Structure 1
Amino acid sequence: MKNSLRWLYPFFGGIILFNMLRVVTDFTKHDVFWAGDLRLHLISICFTIFLCYFYDIVWRRQLSKIISINNKSVIKEYLIVTLQLSTINIVLVLGQYAGIFYMGSGWIDYMLINVCFIPFLLIYYTLIRNEMVNKNYQDKMLTLEKLKADKSEAELKFLKSQYHPHFLFNALNTIYFQIDEENQEAKHSIEKLSDLLRYQLYDIEKEVTLEQEINYLQSYIAFQQLRMSDRLVLNTYFDPQLREQKVHPLLFQPLIENAFKYVRGEEYRIKLEMKLEDNLIRFYVENTVSQNQNIENIEHKGIGINNLKRRLYLLYPNRYSLDIEQVENLFVSKLTIKTV
C-alpha cells in the first residue's frame, strides 16, 4: 500500500508545482488565474507531472547507488542535481519552437519557471533522499540485528559441538582403562580414535601446516580401515612437498569419510591423492560404487558435504573449486585450494 502511494507523489507534486507557477505569473500580472489558452495550460500541467515522474525515477536510481557507497560529498551531489534541473530550459526552448509551450514574456517567463521549478524540485529531491537514507539505515539495522542473532546462534552451536567431543574423549579414556590388558586390538582402536579427537579439540589453531593435517588424515584413514573388509583395495599418495604450507584444518576429511562410507562394487577400491602444483593443493579421492547408487543421493545425505561447501566459501572465497561427480561405477571428488 505504501509503495503504491509513492507513485502518487509525483502526480500531486506536478499539480502543485504548475499551480504555484500560475499563481506567480498570473497574479503578478494582475491576470485571471489560469488566464490564457486552456489547451496550452493542460499541455503544460501534463509536462510538469511527467517531469516530476521522470526526476523521481532518475533520482531514486541515482540515490540507490550513492547511498550504497556511502557518498559523503553532499555539496557535489546537490550541484549535480541542480545541473540536471537546468536542462529544463533546453526542453522549454525546444517546446516553444515546436509550438507546444507559449513563453509570452520571453526571458521573464524562463526566469519565473526556473525560480519556481528548481527550488521546488530540490525540496522534492531532499524528501526522496531522506526517505531512502532512512530506509537504508533501517535495512542496515535489521541486517546488523540478524548478524548478531546469527553470531549468537553460531556461538551456541560451537559450544555445543565442543561439549560433545569433550564428553566422548573423556568417555573413551574411561573405557580404555576398563578393557582387559589382553585385548590390545581394542585398546589400539581407542588410542587411534582418541588421537583423532585430540587433534580436533586441542592441536588445531586457526590454520595448521599440511604436515599436521596429513598426519591427521593418515590416522583417520587407519582408523577407518579397522572397520572395513580385508578385500578393500586402498591406494594413497601424499606429495612429499606438502609440509609447511598453511591450510585450515578438517577440509579434506569429509571427502575421505564419504569414500569409506559409500565404497561399494566388485572392485571395492578407494584411491586418494594429495599433490602440490605451484601454489595449488590438489586433492583427489575416488571410490567404486554399485550401479544402482546415485551421486545425488550420496552428495545430499548428511551434513558433511554441505558444511564443507560453506566452510570453503567462507575461508577461501574465489580461491577454491570443489567438483563431485559420478563416472560410471566411480564416485569422484576433486578439491583444489589456492594457498596464497
Structure 2
Amino acid sequence: MKISLRRIYPFFLGLILFNTLRAITDLTKHEVFWSGSITLHLIGISFTISLCYFYDFLWRRQVNSFAFPEGHQSIIKEYLQILLQLSGINLFLLIGQCAGIFYMGSGWIDYMLINVCFIPFLLIYYTLIRNEKVSRNYRSKILIMEKLKSDKSESELKFLKSQYHPHFLFNALNTIYFQIDDNNIEAKRSIELLSDLLRYQLYDIEKEVTFEQEINYLQAYIAFQKIRMSSKLLLNAYFDPQLKEQKIHPMIFQPIIENSFKYAGGEYKIKIELRMEDNKIIFYVENTTSSIWQNEENTNAGIGLDNLKKRLDLLYPGKYNFYTEHISNLFIAKLEINIE
C-alpha cells in the first residue's frame, strides 16, 4: 500500500507546482486563472509531472546507495549537490523552448519564476525522501541492536550452561577415579589423562596459546591414545625443544595425530615430528595402514582433515601448506605454517 501511494506522490507534486506557478503568473497580472492556450498548459503540466517523477527516481536511487554524512558541513555539501541537480531544470526548459515545445513569453522572468516556484518545493520533497530513508535506517539499527541484546543474553545463558556441564563431568570423573581400586593403575591413569585433555580444551585454550601448552596437550593426547592401542604399536614422537613461547592457534595438530591413531594398521607404526625451521613450523605424521583400509573405497579418514583445512584457511590464509599422501601401506600428512 505504501509503495502504491509513493508512486503517485510525484503526480500530485507536479500538479501543485504547476498550479502554484500559474497562480503567480496569472493572478499577479490580474488575468483569468489558467488563461491562454490550453494546449500549452497541458504541455506544461505534463512536463512538470514528468520532471517530478524524474527527480523522485533519481533521489530515491541516490539515498538507497548513500551513506548519509554527519556534521553541518557535510549536510551543506549534500544539499549543494541537490541544488546543482535542480539547476538542470533550466536546461530542460531551454531545450524545450528551442524545440518549440515551451513558450517563454517573458524571457528570463519566466525562467526566474519557474526556479523560484519549483526549487523550494523540490528541496522539501528531497528532504522528505531523505528523512524517510534515515528513519528506515534508524529503525533497522534499533532492530539489530535488539537482536544483538537478545543474542547476547542467549549466549550468556549458553555459557553458563556450558560451565555447568564441564563441572559436572569433572566431578563425575573425580568420583569414578576414587572408586577405582588403587591397584588398577592404568584405569586411574586413563582418567587423569582424560581430565587433563578436557581441562585444556574447555578452560586453558585461548585465541592463541604457546607451543609449550600445545605440546603438553599433544603429549597427553598421545599417552591417552596409546593406552587403548594394541601393544604392538611402535610410536616415535619428536617435539622440537626450541618450540616454547612462540604462539600458535590451538588444536591444529591434534586432528592429524587422531587420524594416524584411528587408521594405524599393518605394522602399527606411527611417526610424529614437530619442529621449527627458520620461520616455518613443520609438522610431519606418518602411519602404516592395513590392506583393508588401503582397498576401502569409501573411508571417513578425510573428514577430520577436511575440517582442519577449513580452519587453516580461516586462521592462516596464504600462510600454510598442507598435503596428504597414501603410498602403498603408508599414509603421510605434512603441514607447514609460516609464523613470521
- TM range, smaller chain: 0.7 to 0.9
Deviation at 1:219, TM superposition (A): 1.9
2:124 aligned with 1:118? no
Distance 2:156 2:173 in 1: 26
Spell out, residue by residue over 1:177-196, the C-alpha distance to the aligned partner (whole angstroms, 9 max, x if none).
Answer: 11111211111111111111
Spell out, residue by residue over 1:246-292, the C-alpha distance to the aligned partner (whole angstroms, 9 max, x if none).
Answer: 34444555x45873797489898988776768767677889986312
Letter aligned with residue 8 of structure 2: L
Deviation at 1:244, TM superposition (A): 2.2
Compare 115-124 and 14-23 and name the one that shifted more. Answer: 14-23
Task: Describe the SS at the equivalent of 2:228.
Answer: coil
Distance 1:44 1:51 in 2: 10
Answer yes or no: is the 8 Å Cα contact 1:322–1:333 preserved in 2. Answer: no
Answer yes or no: is the 8 Å Cα contact 1:295–1:331 preserved in 2. Answer: no
Task: Describe the SS at the equivalent of 1:43.
Answer: helix
- Structure 2 vs 1, CA of residues 225 and 295 (structure 1 numbering), >3 Å: closer, same or farther? closer
Structure 2 residue aligned with 1:17: 17
Structure 2 residue aligned with 1:152: 153
Compare 167-176 and 121-130 and name the one that shifted more. Answer: 167-176
Of structures 1 and 2, the larger Rg is shown by 2
Distance 1:220 1:278 in 2: 27
Structure 2 residue aligned with 1:243: 244
Structure 2 residue aligned with 1:170: 171
Task: Describe the SS at the equivalent of 2:63.
Answer: helix
Distance 1:44 1:172 in 2: 89
- Structure 2 vs 1, CA of residues 195 and 97 (structure 1 numbering), >3 Å: closer, same or farther? same
Deviation at 1:26, TM superposition (A): 2.2
Deviation at 1:144, TM superposition (A): 0.6
Deviation at 1:241, TM superposition (A): 5.7
Task: Describe the SS at the equivalent of 2:84.
Answer: helix
- Structure 2 vs 1, CA of residues 227 and 337 (structure 1 numbering), >3 Å: closer, same or farther? same
Letter aligned with residue 299 of structure 2: Q
Distance 1:98 1:214 in 2: 85
Distance 2:236 2:131 in 1: 66
- Structure 2 vs 1, CA of residues 57 and 165 (structure 1 numbering), >3 Å: closer, same or farther? same
Letter aligned with residue 291 of structure 1: E
Distance 1:24 1:321 in 2: 76
Deviation at 1:221, TM superposition (A): 3.6
Distance 1:257 1:68 in 2: 54
2:143 aligned with 1:137? no
Spell out, residue by residue over 1:189-244, the C-alpha distance to the aligned partner (whole angstroms, 9 max, x if none).
Answer: 11111111222344345532132123213322432343345677878676666432
Distance 2:336 2:114 in 1: 65
Deviation at 1:16, TM superposition (A): 2.0
| Matches for 1:254-333 after TM superposition, within 5 Å | 255-256=255-256, 259=259, 263=263, 290-293=296-299, 298=303
Answer yes or no: is the 8 Å Cα contact 2:207–2:249 preserved in 1. Answer: yes
Deviation at 1:63, TM superposition (A): 2.5
Letter aligned with residue 38 of structure 1: I
Percentage of matched positions with identical amino acids:
65
Deviation at 1:317, TM superposition (A): 9.6
Answer yes or no: is the 8 Å Cα contact 2:283–2:336 preserved in 1. Answer: yes
2:5 aligned with 1:5? yes
Answer yes or no: is the 8 Å Cα contact 2:225–2:261 preserved in 1. Answer: no
Structure 2 residue aligned with 1:35: 35
Answer yes or no: is the 8 Å Cα contact 2:260–2:286 preserved in 1. Answer: no
Answer yes or no: is the 8 Å Cα contact 2:322–2:333 preserved in 1. Answer: yes
2:192 aligned with 1:191? yes
Distance 1:77 1:291 in 2: 65
Q: Which residues of structure 1 form unaligned runs of 5+?
A: none
Distance 1:18 1:53 in 2: 14
TM-score by length of 1: 0.77
Aligned residues: 332
Answer yes or no: is the 8 Å Cα contact 2:69–2:75 preserved in 1. Answer: no
Distance 2:316 2:9 in 1: 44
Deviation at 1:324, TM superposition (A): 10
Distance 1:37 1:134 in 2: 44
Letter aligned with residue 298 of structure 2: N
Task: Describe the SS at the equivalent of 1:102.
Answer: coil
- Structure 2 vs 1, CA of residues 283 and 39 (structure 1 numbering), >3 Å: closer, same or farther? farther
Q: Which residues of structure 2 form unaligned runs of 5+?
A: none
Task: Describe the SS at the equivalent of 1:226.
Answer: helix
Compare 72-81 and 61-70 and name the one that shifted more. Answer: 61-70
- Structure 2 vs 1, CA of residues 263 and 187 (structure 1 numbering), >3 Å: closer, same or farther? same
Spell out, residue by residue over 1:55-89, the C-alpha distance to the aligned partner (whole angstroms, 9 max, x if none).
Answer: 22322333334446657622221122112111211
Distance 2:100 2:61 in 1: 33
Distance 1:13 1:286 in 2: 78
Letter aligned with residue 23 of structure 1: A
Letter aligned with residue 107 of structure 2: G
Task: Describe the SS at the equivalent of 1:182.
Answer: coil
